[in-house]
């Protein structure tokens, strides 16, 4: 099957239109970036490790407190360090500065999705795909965190844009400029500096699979593989040599042997799950686009031999299967497939009037309507769940958020009406509008209203107000989240009850102890053995959302 099933490539977005789109996406991802506290556990670790990198001026050996962080190369820490230094916010603990790379990467990822959709199909399809990606639950979450995955997505898409151009040029007599190959290999090199060999799965597997499926590898020469791989290695090798010398090779045994290969064999950090998890949570993570993807599946199968569809399937399927088979599973592991899924979904929607009118079999339509009911449930939970949680935490009703939720529910209802009337293009745009209101409700209204309730922030405020010395160090016996270290200080001790009591004995003038009410008796027993008496300086109540436990933390100091 050829591209004849698809519309002519009559519309190409101009640079000015990409600029306006970038501004729109930037404004969409901006709210909540400053009001959302450092999230446990990964984001807070990245922030603290970056902070220590700047303070120590050691840009090779990444550390969290006194422990080496040998999980991946230093690329993301460098990007965050540049952002923090450029904004002069190191000592302010301004979380938004650490999130600048993910903000820019989220915007860039949406623009690249539009570009790839335009290369493979048409800018109308690319634009709708970019909007689907922008409002997806997974990117909305990941794009606001100072972690690797949104930035990694950007470089993967940069490489995929070159792959797409090289793949499609085989149908013409056009000759690609050398810059296309340079972009491809440089993007791979940057991806290696972010997350090591993981980047090779979405960037090298697709051309291998395409060559096997189509029995054609001549197009690969447009990317100049004879010398291009040298560019990728030149980006990553200098740091690899430096960290090998500094760590005596331990970085590679930990990062590749323990972390990477360990995740393949077993579920790390309680994140193990059987194959099929990503398919099961797709309804949520790609909401609202997931409903339209389900509707488009028969179309995708029908058009699977078309050049553009084949390219996208060879991008999605190998990556998805690899991570379904790996024992450790986290939602963002399949994020690099979402732009391709968004483009395929948009292709089906944009071609509805020409070749496709949805599932035609009785069972197909029945399954789609069941999926639509689940989709509606997810939408309702997204609209009202934050309001319920905010009321539980504060006892307050956020009326602006309630008004927004009503608007979301009305738009979800109208989406269903449009679907039942087979107006899928309008339904998709209405659903995207509903998602935008959900995120504005969450990040503009609810999160700022809840910011004072985050436990680490409350502890940091209490410590700063009541600490007896400027250089007081806190030993925390009952609350050991990385965000506490970031907000209170690098020297914060995350230790057990006995060691906390011992710490107070050795630091009677300036030392502070943070102990939950449930550990208080055990803590006092250890102090009695040492003949120490303490006074309670303050108390902090809150929820540790990482494990779901309500904590009642007392801040103690020795009475001298």
pLDDT, tens digit (0-9, with 9 covering 90-100), for 106-155:
999 999 999 999 999 999 999 999 999 999 999 999 999 999 999 999 99
Residue 248 Cα distances to 61, 117, 241, 261, angstroms: 11, 45, 10, 20
Average pLDDT over residues 217-224: 90
Q: What is the pLDDT of residue 41?
A: 87
Q: Token pair 């801040």 is at which residue?
A: 555
Q: Where are the alpha helices (DSSP H) in 199-276?
A: 200-214, 225-247, 250-252, 261-265
Q: E-strand spans in 503-548?
A: 512-516, 534-544
pLDDT digits (tens, 9 = 90+) for 179-209: 999 999 999 999 999 999 999 999 999 999 9
pLDDT digits (tens, 9 = 90+) for 274-283: 889 999 999 9
Q: Are 152 and 103 in contact (CB under 8 A)?
A: no
Q: What is the dihedral of CA 125, 127, 129, 135, to 10 degrees?
A: -150
Sort 44 into a burial class: Cβ within 10 Å, 0-12 / 13-18 / 19+. buried
Quick check: 26 pLDDT over 90?
Answer: yes
pLDDT digits (tens, 9 = 90+) for 452-474: 778 999 999 999 999 999 999 99
End-to-end CA distance of the chain: 84
Q: E-strand spans in 266-371?
A: none
> Is the link from the previous residue into 464 a cis peptide, with omega within 30 of 0?
no
Which phi and psi angles does 430 have, rounded to 5°? -65, -40
Give the model's confidence band at 1: pLDDT under 50 very low, under 70 low, under 90 confident, else very high. Answer: very low
Average pLDDT over residues 221-234: 95
Mean pLDDT, the chain, integer: 92
Show the domains of the chain with their CATH numbers. Answer: 9-350 (no CATH), 362-452 (no CATH), 454-558 (3.40.190.10)
Average pLDDT over residues 444-450: 89
d(C-alpha 452, C-alpha 312), whole Å: 45
Give the model's confidence band at 3: pLDDT under 50 very low, under 70 low, under 90 confident, else very high. Answer: very low
Average pLDDT over residues 438-454: 89
Average pLDDT over residues 70-92: 96
d(C-alpha 84, C-alpha 98), whole Å: 6
Share above pLDDT 70 across residues of the chain, in percent, rounded to a whole number:
94
d(C-alpha 284, C-alpha 291), whole Å: 10
Q: What is the pLDDT of residue 196?
A: 93
Quick check: 411 pLDDT over 90?
Answer: yes
Greater confidence, 414 or 35? 414
Opening angle at CA 83, ends 78 and 87, nearest 5: 145
Crossing angle of helices 75-87 and 42-56, in 10° steps, is 70
Average pLDDT over residues 9-18: 83
Q: What is the dihedral of CA 287, 292, 298, 303, to 10 degrees?
A: -100
Quick check: 445 pLDDT over 70?
Answer: yes
Beta-strand relationship, 67-68 and 63-64: antiparallel
Question: Mind giving me the DSSP string for 424-454?
Answer: HHHHHHHHHHHHHHHHHIIIIIIHHHHGGG-
Which phi and psi angles does 391 have, rounded to 5°? -65, -40
d(C-alpha 494, C-alpha 491), whole Å: 9
Q: What is the pLDDT of residue 175?
A: 86
Which of 28-32, 170-174, 383-387 is predicted least confidently? 170-174
Quick check: 354 pLDDT over 70?
Answer: no
d(C-alpha 352, C-alpha 299), whole Å: 10
Q: What is the pLDDT of residue 502?
A: 95
Q: What is the pLDDT of residue 360?
A: 73
Greater confidence, 398 or 4? 398
Instruction: Specify the pTM.
Output: 0.94
Question: How many other CB atoms are there within 10 angstroms of residue 420's CB atom?
Answer: 11
Contacts of 86 (CB under 8 A, 6+ apart): none
Q: What is the pLDDT of residue 6?
A: 54
Q: 224-245 burial string, b = 16+ CB within 10 Å, else e?
A: beeebeebbeebbeebbeebee
Q: What is the pLDDT of residue 10?
A: 64
Contacts of 458 (CB under 8 A, 6+ apart): 452, 540, 542
Q: Where are the alpha helices (DSSP H) in 99-199?
A: 100-120, 123-134, 137-142, 149-169, 178-195
């Amino acid at each position: 099957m050829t591209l004849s099933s698809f519309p002519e490539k009559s519309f190409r977005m101009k640079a000015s239109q990409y600029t306006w789109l970038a501004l729109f996406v930037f404004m969409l991802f901006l709210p909540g970036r400053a009001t959302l506290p450092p999230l446990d556990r990964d984001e807070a670790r990245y922030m603290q490790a970056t902070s220590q990198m700047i303070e120590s001026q050691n840009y090779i050996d990444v550390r969290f407190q006194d422990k080496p962080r040998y999980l991946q190369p230093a690329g993301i820490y460098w990007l965050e360090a540049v952002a923090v230094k450029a904004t002069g916010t190191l000592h302010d603990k301004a979380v938004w500065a650490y999130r600048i790379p993910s903000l820019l990467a989220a915007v860039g990822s949406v623009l690249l999705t539009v570009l790839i959709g335009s290369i493979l199909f048409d800018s109308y399809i690319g634009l709708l795909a970019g909007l689907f990606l922008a409002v997806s639950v997974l990117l909305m979450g990941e794009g606001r965190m100072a972690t690797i995955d949104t930035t990694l997505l950007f470089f993967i898409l940069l490489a995929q844009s070159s792959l797409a151009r090289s793949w499609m040029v085989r149908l013409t007599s056009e000759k690609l400029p050398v810059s296309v190959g340079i972009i491809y290999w440089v993007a791979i090199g940057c991806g290696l500096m972010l997350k090591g060999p993981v980047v090779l799965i979405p960037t090298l597997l697709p051309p291998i699979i395409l060559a096997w499926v189509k029995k054609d590898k001549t197009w690969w020469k447009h990317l100049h593989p004879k010398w291009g791989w040298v560019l990728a290695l030149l980006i990553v090798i200098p740091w690899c040599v430096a960290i090998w010398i500094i760590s005596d090779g331990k970085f590679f045994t930990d990062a590749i042997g323990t972390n990477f290969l360990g995740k393949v064999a077993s579920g790390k950090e309680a994140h193990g799950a059987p194959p099929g998890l990503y398919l099961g949570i797709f309804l949520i993570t790609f909401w609202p686009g997931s409903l339209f993807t389900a509707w488009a599946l028969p179309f995708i199968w029908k058009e699977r031999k078309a050049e553009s569809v084949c390219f996208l399937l060879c991008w999605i399927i190998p990556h998805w299967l690899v991570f379904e088979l790996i024992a450790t599973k986290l939602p963002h592991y399949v994020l690099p497939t979402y732009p391709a899924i968004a483009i395929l979904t948009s292709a089906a929607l944009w071609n509805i009037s020409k070749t496709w009118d949805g599932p035609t079999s009785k069972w197909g339509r029945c399954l789609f309507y069941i999926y639509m009911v689940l989709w509606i449930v997810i939408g309702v939970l997204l609209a009202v769940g934050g309001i319920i949680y905010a009321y539980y935490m504060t006892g307050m009703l956020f009326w602006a958020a309630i008004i927004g939720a009503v608007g979301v529910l009305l738009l979800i209802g109208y989406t269903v009406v449009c679907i039942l009337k087979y107006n899928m293009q309008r339904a998709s745009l209405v659903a995207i509008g509903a998602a935008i209101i959900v995120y504005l409700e969450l990040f503009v209204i609810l999160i700022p209203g809840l910011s004072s309730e985050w436990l680490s922030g409350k502890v940091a405020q209490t410590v700063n107000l009541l600490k007896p010395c400027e250089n007081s160090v806190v030993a925390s016996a009952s609350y050991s989240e990385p965000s506490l270290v970031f907000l209170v200080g690098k020297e914060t001790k995350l230790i057990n009850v006995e060691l906390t009591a011992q710490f107070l004995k050795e630091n009677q003038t300036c030392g502070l102890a943070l102990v939950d009410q449930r550990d208080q008796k055990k803590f006092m027993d250890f102090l009695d053995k040492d003949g120490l008496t303490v006074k309670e300086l303050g108390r902090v109540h809150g929820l540790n959302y990482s494990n779901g436990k309500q904590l009642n933390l007392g801040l103690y100091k020795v009475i001298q």
